[in-house]
Structure 1
Amino acid sequence: MKWVTVIIKPFKLDDVREALAEVGVQGLTVTEVKGFGRQKGHTELYRGAEYVVDFLPKLKLEIALSDDILEQAVEAIVGAARTGKVGDGKVFVSDLEQVIRIRTSETDIDAL
């Protein structure tokens, strides 16, 4: 099993969700986050004053996946989230040792 953490631009959420549904992903968690990377923020004008926005709004998606759909899911995420511009995001894949569904006490793949 794998734990996939994805950082994307907020307006790409629906595209990514639909692409994941097509490959069989049944659930994910979304968190609004802020951050910067190579994009490094930007300057904005507010009421005549210029200021720097260092941290840009992003979304963090967290998904537990079985190994058999991992490659398809990552391809779906990358394809749906790509705009071709700086700041499109990242995909992080980690090993997931154990999953337990609280309601039924099912474990591992059965709990996904």
Structure 2
Amino acid sequence: MSVRVRRIYEPPEPDDGVRVLVDRLWPRGLSKADARVDEWPKGLTPSNELRRWFHDGGSYEEFTRRYEAELDAPEAVELLGGLRESASKGQVTLLTASKSPDESHATVLARLLTAQA
């Protein structure tokens, strides 16, 4: 299973495979044509409340716990299954506008996708 996380502002690469935007909001200043996003499953993104809480100074550990709880919702479980299936067939690149992708929801998703393979 091949899943990686990249900033959406980085130019697309030929080995990105399926490019999945995992942010709730479209990234500022980026056209849809330039982003070359294949999927945008908003049901996998953190809720607005959780996102605001985290950006207001919440800890990453607590954010991760709360976000994983949100991902137990039926819609998210179904969407995770679809991404897992895509990753079993080839590369999946999770895209985020986060300035710190290593401490973002995208990294949580990547871990969940690869851990449940």
| TM-score where L is the length of structure 2 | 0.30
- Name which structure has the greater RCO, CA cutoff 8 Å, separation 6+: 2
**By percentage of residues, which structure has more helix?**
2
Q: Which has the higher strand share?
A: 1
Task: Say which one has the larger Rg.
Answer: 1
**Given the two structures, how large is their TM-score scaled by the length of structure 1?**
0.31
